[in-house]
Amino acid sequence: MRHIQQFSCLSLSLLTLAACQQRSDTSEPARRTVFFDKAGMDTTISPGNDFFSYANGGWVRKTKIPGDQTGWGSFYQLYDENQLKTKSILEEVAKADAKAGTVEQQVGDFYASGMDTATINKLGYEPIKAELARIAALTTYKDVLNYMAASKSNRGGAFFGFYIGADDRQSSINRINFGQSGLSLPEKEYYTKTDEPTRKIRTAFVAYVAKLFALTGVDTASARTKAEAILAFETALARSHKAPADLRDPVANYNKLAVADLTRQMPNLNWRAFLNTMELSRIDTVLVAQPGYYQALDSMLPKTPVSLLKDRLVFDLIDNNASLLSREFEQARFDFNNKTLYGQPQMPDRWKRIANRVDDALGEALGQLWVKKYFTAEAKERMLSLVNNLQVVYRERIQKLDWMAPETKEVALDKLDKFVKKIGYPDKWKDYSDVAVKRDDYFGNVQRAREHYYREEFAKINQPVDRAEWGMTPPTVNAYANPTNNEIVFPAGILQFPFFDKDADDAINYGGIGMVIGHEMTHLFDDQGRQYDASGNLRDWWTKQDAERFETKTQAVVNQYNAYTVLDNLHLNGRLTLGENLADLGGITLAYQAFKLTKQGQSNDKIDGFTPDQRFFLGFAQVWRVKIRDEAERVGIATDPHSPAKFRVNGPLTNFAPFYTAFGVKPGQKLYKPEVQQARVW
Ligand SMILES: [Zn+2]
């Protein structure tokens, strides 16, 4: 089973892959006095032609991406610093002889078990042998379905993907929601594209699958045959998938279906029996985001040799657990998933990998220790006041919109007034006391944490939504907007330099975290978010004319980003990135207007030779500075709803008159557009 995440976040790609540069000490940073890296600029470039490179060109030229990274830049550096903070906590609690069952004992022993490579390597693939035997014993496709339904704690069976979350049209209640699944490559086109990089990825995928089989004792020739059959099967399945841009339609994704009807429509999948095996016999309706995928699965399953279905389960089982097994399994997985797909040459140090795993498994246990040490009430208060300032600005802007009717504005303002602000960490921590953590059982620890997670998730089905819950852990360098909760969320991890520093001037903080706040607020009104009301329900509250005007305005943004290219003419997908691009444009607009209300925003006092406005834009551009490997960029263009960093800076500024004024942008320069052509939505 695969869990599918559904929020609009600030930055996607590095979350799963970033790890960090070598550093030896973990001492507290000194109080910062410099907030802008002037030496990182390239003043030979005209700001009106390419502001990203003007602000960051010097840094880009001299920066080498560390070998264990997919890229390097502000997000990566902060992530790196947060990981070092996490490490100091982990090493401390792993040493301490904490009382059994305490948060310190669980976190410390989990970390120690992951660092115990002697035990892990000795075990080889022993931890999954019982599961492999279970798969080997299956004889019909119905057995295969039963196995998948029974292994909901993520041990295998990736033909069904689901999450448990708010019902989009009744957001106070949780439902189980099934979505398209079953593919190992990033999205459907990877199975059919004929360009050289994609063909190489398919070849490497077959080699990787074969390698995993070989590592569990299958002879080389059979391993290869199995791998090729798995690719062929997934290629057929991929035809039923929707492309990433087509998934951005919450109405099309909303299909509430009676289990009895589903069972009739897809008799081979037998949803009733499947849900019963999942211990969900009490459920009589489910949400199915992409029924077309399940229709295809229903027709393919009985026609596919059972041996192939079993091989696919075996591959899934090993692949899902490879990084918990001995070195050769972990290396094989890294070589395909990280090196081939994302161009990352070296595996990060083990402590970094295990620190991520602790965050993943016991996130709010580690998070408690983290915020106690690294997050202050002062930062939370300052952040809340920034959010409030931007909310006031957004209110004024909506009131003044010339394209929206008063009745639509009224609902928009109600939604704006009611959005929930979550800052730093949750008010109530999750309880992991039912997870037994043993110092010498890494695999078992991960497995028990997964079981805990699924117990917790399954208990939510058809129950009221806990609106206080968080979808990210405190050390995370990211933020998100969740339209079904009408909320924006900022983990402690991002509330630090270069996004935010309590000693920095307002230009830096508004250009950094101010823009991030505006970005998340705008998500609640982007192409997807605007379709939800103040209570978080998917409900059309727009007049027909306002909706049409919104569409026309946003089509201009789609066209703008469609025209951008990277890596020898690879075009951005303006539809896939629309929500993020709108959030970036809204973010800079709201942050700038809020900045202009501050004392510095109204003054003309230069710092480092720059006016307050110039410094605001430079601070903004520096937050987004990043250098990324070509392979990672390619995956990003195909799947990531966020535009590449250069266009997250240049794209919104092209549409922003105060930027023109601050840097004297003139007709003929690349970022210049006549005022009537500048996209303005919110
Ligand atoms: Zn976003």
SS (H, E, C) 48-67: CCCHHHHHHHHHHHHCCCCC
Residues in the chain: 682
Residue 416: closest CA among 515, 510, 514, 524: 524
Q: Is 275 helix (H, G, I), strand (E, B) or coil?
A: helix
Over residues 590-608, the pLDDT tens digits come to: 999 999 999 999 999 999 9
Residue 657: CB atoms within 10 A of its CB come to 13
Residue 262 has pLDDT above 80, yes or no: yes
Please, which residues have CB within 8 angstroms of residue 65's CB and are 6 or more apart in sequence?
71, 72, 627, 628, 629
From ligand 1's centre to the CA of 650, what distance in Å? 16
Between CA 227 and CA 235 the distance in angstroms is 12
Residue 4 has pLDDT above 80, yes or no: no
Give 668: exposed, middle or buried? Use CB within 10 Å, 0-12, 13-18, 19+: exposed
DSSP string across 425-454: S-SS----TT----TT-HHHHHHHHHHHHH
Between CA 353 and CA 317 the distance in angstroms is 20
From ligand 1's centre to the CA of 507, what distance in Å? 21
Amino acid at 579: G
Residue 593: closest CA among 514, 521, 677: 514
Over residues 455-491, the pLDDT tens digits come to: 999 999 999 999 999 999 999 999 999 999 999 999 9
From ligand 1's centre to the CA of 575, what distance in Å? 14
Amino acid at 619: G
The label of the residue with tokens 């080997």 reads: 136
Percentage of residues in the chain having pLDDT higher than 90: 92
Position 132 confidence tier, pLDDT thresholds 50, 70, 90: very high
The label of the residue with tokens 């918990």 reads: 324
Residue 9 has pLDDT above 90, yes or no: no
Over residues 204-243, the pLDDT tens digits come to: 999 999 999 999 999 999 999 999 999 999 999 999 999 9
Over residues 70-94, the pLDDT tens digits come to: 999 999 999 999 999 999 999 999 9
pLDDT at 96: 84
Between CA 485 and CA 520 the distance in angstroms is 13
Say which residue, 1 or 444, is predicted with more confidence.
Answer: 444
Over residues 596-655, the pLDDT tens digits come to: 999 999 999 999 999 999 999 999 999 999 999 999 999 999 999 999 999 999 999 999
Between CA 209 and CA 96 the distance in angstroms is 41
* Chain centre distance of CA 359: 15
Position 356 confidence tier, pLDDT thresholds 50, 70, 90: very high
Q: Are strands 487-491 and 420-424 parallel, antiparallel or unpaired?
A: parallel
Please, which residues have CB within 8 angstroms of residue 648's CB and are 6 or more apart in sequence?
580, 584, 624, 642
Over residues 289-346, the pLDDT tens digits come to: 999 999 999 999 999 999 999 999 999 999 999 999 999 999 999 999 999 999 999 9
Q: Is 139 helix (H, G, I), strand (E, B) or coil?
A: coil
Residue 229's Cβ-side half-sphere holds a number of Cα atoms within 13 Å equal to 18
Residue 18 has pLDDT above 50, yes or no: no
Question: Which residues face 389 on adjacent strands?
Answer: none
Query: Which residue is catalytic, options 319, 584, 631, 633?
Result: 584
Active-site residue 330, yes or no?
no
Over residues 373-393, the pLDDT tens digits come to: 999 988 899 999 999 999 999
DSSP string across 527-588: TTGGGB-TTS-B---S-HHHHHHHHHHHHHHHHHHHT-EETTTEEP-TTTTHHHHHHHHHHH
Please tell me the pTM assigned to this model: 0.94
pLDDT at 600: 98
Between CA 621 and CA 648 the distance in angstroms is 9
pLDDT at 595: 98
From ligand 1's centre to the CA of 97, what distance in Å? 42
* Strand spans (E) along 279-321: 285-288
Active-site residue 584, yes or no?
yes
From ligand 1's centre to the CA of 313, what distance in Å? 34
DSSP state of 512: I
Mean pLDDT of all residues in 86-113: 95
Over residues 392-407, the pLDDT tens digits come to: 999 999 999 999 999 9
Dihedral sign from CA coordinates of 465, 469, 473, 477 = positive
Residue 442 has pLDDT above 70, yes or no: yes
Position 157 confidence tier, pLDDT thresholds 50, 70, 90: low
pLDDT at 252: 97
pLDDT at 153: 60
Residue 35 has pLDDT above 70, yes or no: yes
Residue 37 has pLDDT above 60, yes or no: yes
Residue 322: closest CA among 334, 310, 308: 334
Over residues 540-562, the pLDDT tens digits come to: 999 999 999 999 999 999 999 99
From ligand 1's centre to the CA of 202, what distance in Å? 30
Between CA 377 and CA 6 the distance in angstroms is 30
Residue 1 has pLDDT above 60, yes or no: no
From ligand 1's centre to the CA of 189, what distance in Å? 24
pLDDT at 502: 86
Residue 596: closest CA among 643, 661, 668, 532: 661
pLDDT at 661: 98
The label of the residue with tokens 């802008």 reads: 36
Q: Residues 679, 557: contact at Cβ < 8 Å?
A: yes
Q: Residues 172, 465: contact at Cβ < 8 Å?
A: yes
From ligand 1's centre to the CA of 612, what distance in Å? 26
Between CA 506 and CA 358 the distance in angstroms is 36
Please, which residues have CB within 8 angstroms of residue 538's CB and are 6 or more apart in sequence?
168, 169, 171, 250, 251, 254, 484, 531, 532
Considering just the CA atoms, what is the radius of gyration of the chain in Å?
25
Over residues 264-291, the pLDDT tens digits come to: 999 999 999 999 999 999 999 999 999 9
Phi, psi of 130 (to 5 degrees): -65, -40
From ligand 1's centre to the CA of 110, what distance in Å? 32
Query: Which residue is catalytic, options 520, 533, 633, 640?
Result: 520
Mean pLDDT of all residues in 102-129: 98
Phi, psi of 48 (to 5 degrees): -80, -10
Q: Is 39 helix (H, G, I), strand (E, B) or coil?
A: helix
pLDDT at 17: 36
Over residues 164-189, the pLDDT tens digits come to: 999 999 999 999 999 999 999 999 99
pLDDT at 25: 37
pLDDT at 10: 76
